[in-house]
Amino acid sequence: MAKKIPTRLYLDEEEIPKSWYNLRSDMVSKPDPILHPGTLKSATAADLEAVFCKECVKQELDETNRLIPIPEGLQEFYRAYRPAPLIRAYFLEKALGTPAEIYYKHEGTNTSGSHKLNSAAAQAFYAKAEGLTSLTTETGAGQWGSAMAMACAYYGLDLTVYMVKVSSEQKPYRKALIETYGANLIPSPSNTTESGRKILEQNPNTGGSLGCAISEAIETSVKTDKCRYVLGSVLNHVLLHQSIIGQEARAALEKYGVTPDIIIGCAGGGSNLGGLIAPFMGDKIKGKSKTRFIAVEPASCPSFTRGRYAYDFGDTAKTTPLLRMYTLGSGFMPSANHAGGLRYHGMNPILSKLYKDGYLEARSAVQTDVFDAAVKFAKIEGILPAPESSHAIKAAIDEALECKRTGEKKVILFGLTGTGYFDMSAYMSYNAKTMSDSIPTDADLEKGFASIPEIPQNK
Ligand SMILES: Cc1ncc(COP(=O)(O)O)c(C=O)c1O
């Protein structure tokens, strides 16, 4: 007889995965290689090691090893906040009157507030092991900066965080949290770097973007001794670290004989979505399942649904290696009225390839609809979700209501990537009904596309 499914599908501590799962090893058609921006040849480990930690570079370029061991010193850190709960949304199912089963993997229970800590801890661990003394990074909504600050405090590394200016103004407490963990926080664009000064000359009133903040963080890291740059999304090694989310979710569901029909994740640069779906997507690629995968992005920054599949830079100053991905162009600036994260112009190359090849679906949502879903979820399930995560909640509710219409009893799993405690100014504007939606026009998008490099590979 099938086991009764509890509200919390716990795993024991010893069931936390000891290796990450490298989805690329099982992909028949691999993502295109990363290119050196000068030579336009495949980037080598030596090229990337000028900017990133060695071990992360090795993982970035690894297309063959299926399982990558998680070092013991990192497993120890993971045990402080994992396994993350997998929750059956009984209350939500009842409130919607749906025959669907809804589950969510709650990554917001650690103090930094989101899934970002899974990769932050890994990157800080490797930096320390390689003898580095400091790191630089960028943060948009602040979740990644908080996670990195927490990880650097634990492993004893200095950290400089370039925070997108508009977010640092909207979220003073996020800033305070990052500083409490000992990081040096600089609103971006700033006049502490050449790239920041250039952006400010061109556009003195800009609220900043992740692309600008990345340029500043990279510039500072290459000019500082024993320092490297760390990125919280988009790159393949970040998705690899996040595969722990999907591995735990699958292990917990398997205990109860549950197989998801639909898996949903919000998509900024793709790290939580890539991590959540990784083992399930591996099954689909091998023909063992028919699970549907849905990426949900903001209508104000629609990389998958309106972007181009092209080689592009990761930053505004065009200094990074080139990634083949769905992109709005590194010059794209999302509207300042967009409250949550998910403001990045590009999308991880693995997910981009899976979307191009038809394994992954994508849709967009406007922020007022996303906040409708967030508030509904908060009232019914009791958890205050991050605006980013609420994109996934919206799609999960829509799919559950579709099941109600058709009478199908599907199993829906979504990623609840973080909590919204530091997003109260966005909730306040939603409550006051002053929140508005902004959808870029085709002409707005063309301006961003004009910044995509005109190289032979893009012809
Ligand atoms: C809570 C939360 N969820 C999701 C995301 C989106 O990032 P990614 O697509 O890398 O998971 C962010 C990014 O800032 C975030 O803070």
Could you tell me the two tokens for 256? 């109860």
> Torsion angle of alpha carbons 199, 204, 207, 212, nearest 10°?
10
Strand (E) positions, 168-317?
Answer: 184-188, 227-229, 262-266, 292-298, 308-312
How confident is the model at residue 209, as a pLDDT? 83
What percentage of the chain has pLDDT greater than the value 90?
91
The per-residue pLDDT for range 146-180, each reduced to its tens digit, is 999 999 999 999 999 999 998 899 889 999 999 99
- Measured from the Cβ of residue 108, the count of other Cβ atoms closer than 10 Å reads 22
Percent of the chain with pLDDT over 70: 99
Helix, strand and coil percent figures for the chain, each rounded to 5: 45, 15, 40
Give pLDDT tens digits for 34-79. 999 999 999 999 999 999 999 999 999 999 999 999 999 999 999 9
Q: What is the CB < 6 Å shell around ligand 1?
A: 114, 140-141, 143-144, 233, 266-273, 341-342, 386, 388-389, 417-418
pLDDT at 90: 98
Of all protein residues, whose CA lies closest to atom 1 belonging to ligand 1? 418
Question: According to the model, what pLDDT value does residue 386 have?
Answer: 96
379-402 mean pLDDT? 98
Minimal-distance CA residue to ligand 1 atom 4: 388
Average pLDDT, the chain: 96
User: Which pLDDT tens digit goes with each residue over 75-86?
Assistant: 999 999 999 999
Is the pLDDT confidence value at 339 over 80?
no
User: Strands (DSSP E) along 230-273, which ranges?
Assistant: 262-266
Question: 67-70 — which CB contacts under 8 Å span 24+ positions?
Answer: 67/19, 67/20, 67/21, 67/22, 68/19, 68/20, 68/22, 68/240, 69/18, 69/19, 70/17, 70/18, 70/19, 70/20, 70/122, 70/244
Instruction: Assign 343 a pLDDT band (cuts: 50, 70, 90).
Output: confident
Where residue 1 falls among pLDDT bands split at 50, 70, 90? low
Question: 104, 106, 115, 139: which to mutate for ligand 1, most atoms within 8 A of CB?
Answer: 115
The predicted structure's pLDDT at residue 342:
85
Atom of ligand 1 nearest to the CA of 389: 3
CB 384 within 8 A of CB 420: yes
Q: Which of 115, 135, 125 is nearest to 74 (CA)?
A: 125
β partners of residue 228: 135
How far is it, in rounded angstroms, from Cα 317 to Cα 454?
16
Most ligand 1 atoms within 8 A of CB, residue of 272, 370, 421 to mutate: 272
Mean pLDDT (whole number) for 314-338: 89
Sign of the dihedral through C-alpha 38, 235, 308, 368: negative
Residue 319: pLDDT over 90 = no
What pLDDT is recorded for position 340?
A: 64
* Ligand 1 site-directed mutation target among 117, 233, 421, most atoms within 8 Å of CB: 233
> Of 398, 438, 89, 98, which is closest to residue 264 (Cα–Cα)?
398
Residues 393-431 as b or e (16 or more Cβ within 10 Å = b)? bbbbbbbbeebeeeeeebbbbbbbbbbbebbeebbebbe
The strand pair at 323-327 and 308-312 is best described as antiparallel
pLDDT in tens, 125-149: 999 999 999 999 999 889 999 999 9
- Give the predicted TM-score (pTM) of the model: 0.97
Taking residues 89-117, what's their average pLDDT? 98
Distance 342 CA to ligand 1 centre (A): 6
Q: What is the Å distance from ligand 1's center to 114 Cα?
A: 8
Dist. CA 231 → ligand 1 center (Å): 12
| Tokens describing residue 67 | 């399982």
Neighbours of 246 (CB within 10 A): 28
C-alpha dist (Å) from residue 121 to 21, 111, 206, 212, 406: 17, 13, 32, 24, 44
pLDDT in tens, 184-237: 999 999 999 999 999 999 999 988 888 889 999 999 999 999 999 999 999 999
101: enclosing H helix or E strand: strand 101-106
SS3 312: strand
β partners of residue 326: 309
Pick the residue with more confidence: 2 or 433?
A: 433
**pLDDT value of position 2:** 64
Paired residues of 229 in beta bridges: 136
